[in-house]
Every structure is written in C-alpha cells, then in structure tokens.
Chains A and B, each alone.
Chain A
Amino acid sequence: MSSMSPRIAELIDALPVEPDEAVAPNAAFQGLLQELSHKQVPIGRLNRLWVLGTLQAKIAAAYFAWWLRGGYASADKRQRTLNETHLKAALKLLGGMSYLRGAIMKAGQIMATHPDVAPEQFADVLGHLHFEAPPMHFSLLREFVRSELGGDPEDVFDQFETRAFAAASLGQVHRARLKGTDQLVAIKVQYPNIGRTIRDDFRNLLALLTPMRLSGDWDNLKAQFEDIRHMLDLETDYEQEAENLRIARSAFTEDDGIVVPRVFPEVSTRRVLTMEYVGGLHLEKFLSTDPSQELRDQFGHKICVSVLRVQYSKKFVYADPQPGNYLFMPDGRLGFIDFGSCHFQSDEDIECLADAERAYLGSSPEAVRKTYVRGGDLTPKQAADDTRLKMYGQWADWAWEPVVHEGPFDFGDRDYFRRGASLYGELIRRRYMRSRPSNTWLIKCIYGLRAMLAHLKARVDLGAIFREENTVSHGQDA
C-alpha cells in the first residue's frame, strides 16, 4: 500500500508538459520588453518571484495531473490525446494562477502539511511559506487600507509597523497599537483583488476540465471542486472570519489555556481584520527551542481540545489546523489565531457524523456500512462495490485509531501518518473520492490535525478528549 504514495519526482514525471514550460507565461512579457529595448532583459524581481512560484506550482500541478490522469487511463487514444490537450491548458492556467497567490499557494500549503506525501525538504520549504509569502510593500498596503478604513494606517492606528510580521496566504499581518490605547493589535490585510482572482481562476479551470469527462463521478467531483472554491472564497471574507473568531472565543475559558484573539470591528472590514495581538512562537521556532516531551504533550492536548471544542460545542469544523494558525505562548497557553477556513455544519451534517461515530464505536458492521453509503453519497452500484467499502473501512480504522487507543497516542510515530497518507493516495488513485461535500472540510481537519501533532511529536489521549468534548454522539450514549 505504501508504494502507492506518490513521490514528488514521480509526480513531476507524470506531467504532460515540462513544468517550466507549463508555468512560464512571463516569456511573452520578456519578448515584449526585448522588443522595446532591443536588448536582453532579465525580469529580475519577477523572475525571482516566479522561481518561488515554480516550486509550488510544480508540486501542485504535478499532483493535479496525477490525480486527473487516473480518470481517463482507460479511454481510447483519440480521447486521451484530447484530454492531454485540455490537461496542458489546465496546468498552464494552474501555473499562472495569480503567481503564488490564491489557489495554487493554498494547494502548496495543504501539501506542506502532509509530510509523507511531500518529502521533508519540500515540506520544509513549503512550510516556510506559511509565514514568508511575497509581501505587499507598505505603499500598496497603505493605499488599500486607506480605501478600506478611510485613512492611512499610520493615522488610523498608533505605531503601525510598516514591515509585516507574518504572511497569511491571502494577505499579510502587521502589528500596531489601537489609537489612543495600549492595546497591541495584529492587522491582517488582504491582497487587493484576491477574492475575485480566485473565483475567476476556478471558473476557468472548471471550464477547461469539463470536456475531459473525467469519470462517472464528474458531478460529484464538480461539487467537491465547488466546495474547495467556496472554502477559499470564505477565506477572503474577513467579516465572516471575525464572526468565527467571536464564536470560537466564547467556547473557551481561562482554564483551558487556549487564547482566541478578540476582534476590533470598528477598525475591521471584509478585507482588513484587526485583532488583539497574541505573542508566541510558531511551531517550527517552538521546536527549535528543544521543548520537553511533557511540554509537547501539553500543547498537543490543547491543539486537540481547540479543534474538538469548536466542532462539538459551536458546530463548526475547523478545517485548517496547520502551523501558521497556532502560537505556542511562553506561559504555556496556546494561541488559536486564524479562523478563515471554518465550515458550519448543517443539522444533517451533524446527524450524519453522529451516526457514523455511534456506528463505528458500536462495532456494528451493518450500521458502519450504512454510514459509508450515506457519508460517501454513494449510488446503489457504488454501494455494492466491496473493494470501495473495504477501503473506506481501512481509512475509518486509521482515522479512529488514536481515538480508540487506550491512553495517550503517540502521534510522533511516522508510520501512523504515512499509512494515512498512503490510504488517501490510494483512495484518490482508485477515484473513491465521492463524498458529501461537507466531508472535504472534515478530511482536511483530520489530516491537518494529525500532521500538526506528528510534527510536534506529541502524545495525546485523544479518546479522553473526544469523550469529554463530544456532547453529540458520545454524550447521548453515555
């Protein structure tokens, strides 16, 4: 099974065109410049940006191609050629998507949290991008903030730091003081135009892929694609994020040791979000301090509580438990700081998940099977496919393993995460990704949480936390 997990080199080999060719739309620009100046013009800064982009674009495009090609492996030669043409066009578009910003960057980031799928060195480089995205210079930021808040940042805030202290995938974060107070704030500012760029890119990508008739599950695939687009779209709505922050903040007490920053709505808009500044280290820096196992376990515990608490008490799936969204505070508290990627569950989502939990923990094979059919939104033919259901079972066993484990589970065990990544790769390869769209969020949450804990090498009694926090299915059983 582990051999099914794709390596970067294999993936890139599977590209229908050379990645450089696929992602070099600047060539036309270079030609234009050469014509204008009659001399060779290397586009210094653009080239550097593009090199950075190429790494992510290569990886994301390679995964994308590998994923899509599986869908037409059995097609005849003419159809395959046609599909290759569409795939090339789609990859070119993917490579050119906002040059690092938006979807391609998110894709790279998501892959960075899967240490098995992306080899260590790639994961490390991509991991940095959570915090080192190409910045907006201050003059651009000033014009944008001015149009959003009605004044220059230096006038709206006190001590506005012109240099960003963190980068968000869709923007960047600056530190300042709230006007006339001692309150330190973190101001997240979105790249201009990013929301519409994401929408346009997805629309174009879908238009290119539609003629490929990827598989019988195309409608379902489109629904999932739409869900990812929706996920990114939500991340561009800082008013929604402010509301998520407010709800999440109300879920924790001082005793939890989990800090969700307060929002200052009077200096926030849909694209500028002003929050209480929370000081602390991101995961990589925290690990470089060589923390004790005890400290790792304590933080691991808090990370699990953070995700399960909002899911069960506030009904939203926290889909983005990744290093950029947590801060390890010097006093042992955990900063839980980014709520751009959250999915509020419908009553049906909650009921479906609770059924699955009860069925799995009740060990009734028939009940479990029924939840696979419902959760996978399967057609009768698919529901009769034993191989598919067996794989769902293997995946569920993997996901539940830390929960049913007696006592603290060692998430630092690389083999555990590897098995999960391989299973995921195999599900994709077999095109068993049909599912209720809301599961996209849940799967992202499950992998993100386990990847965080794997990096942290934490030992956590997830079963005990689950029993404590889950007031829906477990609370009713108990």
Chain B
Amino acid sequence: MRVTAEKKRETRRRIVEGARNLFNDKGFEQTTTRDIAEAAGIAAGTMFNYFPTKEALAMTIVDEALQEAGTEFEGRLRGDETLDEALFAHVAVGLRHLAPHRNYVGEVLETALSPFAREPVCEQAQEFRVSHLETVQELIASHGPPTIRTPSVMTMHLYWTLYLGVLSFWAADESPNREDTLVVLDESMRLFVGSLSPESENGREVTDVVDVTQNR
C-alpha cells in the first residue's frame, strides 16, 4: 500500500514535470495530453486518473507556484502595511512565483479563469479563485478600515475583475523587468481600496456576507 502511494506520487510528479516542460516549449494550446503522457512515460488513459483535463493539470502547476508564493508572502508581512500595500504584496509575490511559467500561463488563465465562463472550467480553477479571495478577505479584515467588516459581493467582484486585468496585463507585459505591471497593480489595488471607504456604502450598514465560492 505504501509503495503504491509512493509510486502514485512519483507518477504524478513526472506528469507535472513533463507538462511544465512541454507547456514552456510548445505553449499550452499546442501541447496535447498525449504529449504529456508520453513525456511522463505513461499511457494516455492513465493520465486522466491523475488529472481529468489539461486545464486541471495546468492549474495544478499554477496552484503549486502560488502556494509557495503564499508561504513567502506570509513570512514577509510586517503587520504595519496599509491594505493596498498588503494586497499589492500578495499579488506581486504570486506574479514573481508564476514568472518561470509566463510563456504559457496567460493561455492557461485565459481558459481556466475566463470571467465569461458560466461554470468553473475545472475544480482547480475554482479552488484557486476561492483560496485567493479568502486571503483577500482576510487581508481586508486585518488591514482594512475598522468600519468594513465584510466587503459586499460587488466589491469582491470588482477586486476579482481588477486582479484578472492585472494578470492579463502581466502576461503580455514587455516593459523592462515588467515594471509596468507593478504600476498597473499598484493603481488597481489603490482603486480597489478606495472603493472600500465607508462613504461608498452610502452610510448603510453592510450586512451582506460574501460567499466567495459562488462563481459570479
């Protein structure tokens, strides 16, 4: 039993490693699941026992990079950041960890995180969205103005829209060291935090609790 689990882990690692190399070399769209299976030394059908779709596999790679980023982000928090700075750092560290995958990650995110998709493209994409927005809500609670207890659904929608905009800008950013992305990210987070001020609620008590698991 123990050997099987280890073997499974090893096979999964080979699939992820092979996919990462192929996505980098050929791009996401041009890489087939057959290519990935071949690179991992397994039968095409076996791969689906591990990852139901190519999108799920790609989002797993993205998610692993962002988990490392999350650890670094938490370690770097000083506690005295303003909310816009904390949100900036959260996204910026993530982008840095995604940088080795930039060749193809735009294509992946375009498919997996499309704001026009009626249903989540894959479970991994939905988990990523939920996890990211939960962190944002925690940051709002810990770094935001005391009057904001829970941001509204529309507020979180605005955040997600801005975040996707930053991701798409970053994926195509040709500026030196992608410095333009830093500016766009900074402006986006300031804009978002500006929308959180108490006046923005027209003085009404904010009572709508956000369920970040909803897709729209």
Chain A CB within 8 A of B158 CB:
yes
A-B contact pairs, 20 of them (CB 8 A): A36-B157, A36-B161, A40-B202, A42-B200, A45-B194, A47-B194, A136-B186, A137-B84, A138-B81, A138-B85, A139-B86, A139-B89, A139-B92, A140-B85, A140-B92, A144-B182, A192-B179, A192-B180, A192-B182, A193-B180
B154 within 8 A of A: yes
Question: Which chain A residues border B182 with CB–CB below 8 Å?
Answer: 140, 143-144, 192-193
Does residue B183 face the partner (Cβ distance < 8 Å to A)?
yes
Chain A residues lying within 8 Å of B24, measured Cβ to Cβ, are: none
Of B88, B157, B158, B201, the residue contacting A137 (CB under 8 A) is B88
Which chain B residues border A162 with CB–CB below 8 Å? Answer: 78
Q: Mark B14-29, 1 if CB is under 8 A from A, else 0.
A: 0000000000000000
Docked Cα-Cα span, A137 to B161, in Å, equals 23
Cα–Cα, bound, A138→B88 (Å): 10
Near A by CB (< 8 A), chain B positions 153-177 give: 154-155, 157-158, 161, 175, 177
Nearest 5 Cβ contacts at the A-B interface? A147-B177, A139-B89, A192-B179, A43-B194, A137-B85
Report if B96 contacts A (CB, 8 A).
yes
User: Binary interface profile of B, 186-210, with partner A (CB < 8 Å = 1, else 0)?
Assistant: 1000110111010111100000000
Expressed in whole angstroms, the Cα–Cα distance for A147 and B71 within the complex equals 20
Within 8 A of B (CB), among A116-156: 136-140, 142-144, 146-148
**CB–CB A43/B85 < 8 A:** no
Give chain A residues whose Cβ lies under 8 Å from the Cβ of B197.
42, 44
CA of A162 to CA of B155, assembled, Å: 30
CA distance A20 to B119 in the complex (A): 45
Render A180-211 as a binary contact track against B, CB cut-off 8 A, 1 for contact. 00000000000011001000000000000000
**B11 proximal to A (CB < 8 A):** no
Q: How far apart are B149's CB and chain A's nearest CB, in angstroms?
A: 17
Known contacts A44-B194, A144-B182, A36 near B154 by CB under 8 Å: yes
Q: Which residue in B82, B92, B190, B195 is a CB contact (below 8 Å) of A33? A: B195
* Interfacial chain B residues near A44, Cβ < 8 Å: 193-194, 197, 199
Complex formed: what's the CA distance from A33 to B92 in Å? 24
A38 vs B200: C-alpha distance when bound (angstroms): 10
B193 touches A45 (CB 8 A): yes
The interface residues of chain A lying within 8 Å CB-to-CB of B195 are: 33, 37, 41, 43
At the interface, yes or no: A29 with Cβ under 8 Å from chain B?
A: yes
Q: CB of A46 within 8 A of chain B?
A: yes
Task: Check A38–B194 contact: CB distance below 8 A.
Answer: no
B161: A residues at CB distance < 8 A: 36
- Asked whether B152 is an interface residue with its Cβ less than 8 Å from the other chain, the reply is yes
The digit string for A28-40, where 1 denotes a CB below 8 A from any CB of B, is: 0100010011111
Measured CB to CB, the residues of B under 8 A from A are 78, 81-82, 84-86, 88-89, 92, 96, 152, 154-155, 157-158, 161, 175, 177-180, 182-183, 186, 190-191, 193-195, 197, 199-202
Q: Are B175 and A193 in contact (CB under 8 A)?
A: yes
Quick one: which of B78, B152, B195, B197 has the most chain A CB within 10 A? B195
Among residues of A, the one whose C-beta sits closest to the C-beta of B92 is A143
A38: chain B residues at CB < 8 Å are: 154
Contact A140 B186 (CB under 8 A): yes
Chain B residues positioned under 8 Å from A42 (CB to CB): 194, 197, 199-200
A147 lies within 8 A of B194 (CB):
no
Contact A144 B179 (CB under 8 A): yes
Complex CA–CA separation, A146 to B72 (angstroms): 15
- With A140-B182, A143-B96: A46-B194 Cβ-Cβ less than 8 Å: yes
Q: How far apart are the CA atoms of A46 and B194 in the complex, in Å?
A: 7
A344 to chain B minimum Cβ distance, whole angstroms, is: 26
**Given A37-B152, A44-B197, A144-B177: 20 more A-B contacts, CB < 8 Å:** A36-B157, A37-B154, A39-B202, A40-B200, A40-B202, A41-B194, A45-B194, A46-B194, A47-B194, A137-B84, A137-B85, A139-B88, A140-B92, A140-B182, A140-B186, A144-B182, A146-B96, A147-B177, A148-B177, A162-B78
Q: Is B191 a contact partner of A37 (Cβ separation < 8 A)?
A: no
Output the least CB separation between A133 and chain B (Å). 15
Tell me, in angstroms, the Cα distance from A46 to B154 when the chains sit together. 20
What's the Cα separation between A46 and B202 when bound, in Å? 18
CB-CB nearest in chain B for A140: B186
In the assembled complex, which residues on chain A have CB atoms less than 8 Å from the CB atom of B155? Answer: 37
Give the nearest-CB partner of B197 in chain A.
A44
Q: CA A438 – CA B76 in complex, angstroms?
A: 48
Q: Given A33-B158, A138-B85, A192-B182, is A46 in contact with B200 using a C-beta cutoff of 8 Å?
A: no
Distance A37 CA – B196 CA, assembled complex (angstroms): 11
The winner among B82, B197, B200 for most chain A CB atoms within 10 A is B200
Q: Which residues of A contact B88 (CB under 8 A)?
A: 137, 139-140
Q: Name the residue among B84, B161, B183, B201 with the largest chain A CB count within 10 angstroms.
A: B183
Closest A residue to B194 by CB, please name it.
A43
A-chain residues with CB within 8 Å of residue B78 when the two chains form the complex = 138, 162
- Complex Cα distance, B83 from A137, in Å, reads 11
Q: Which one of B81, B154, B191 lies within 8 Å of A139 (CB-CB)?
A: B81
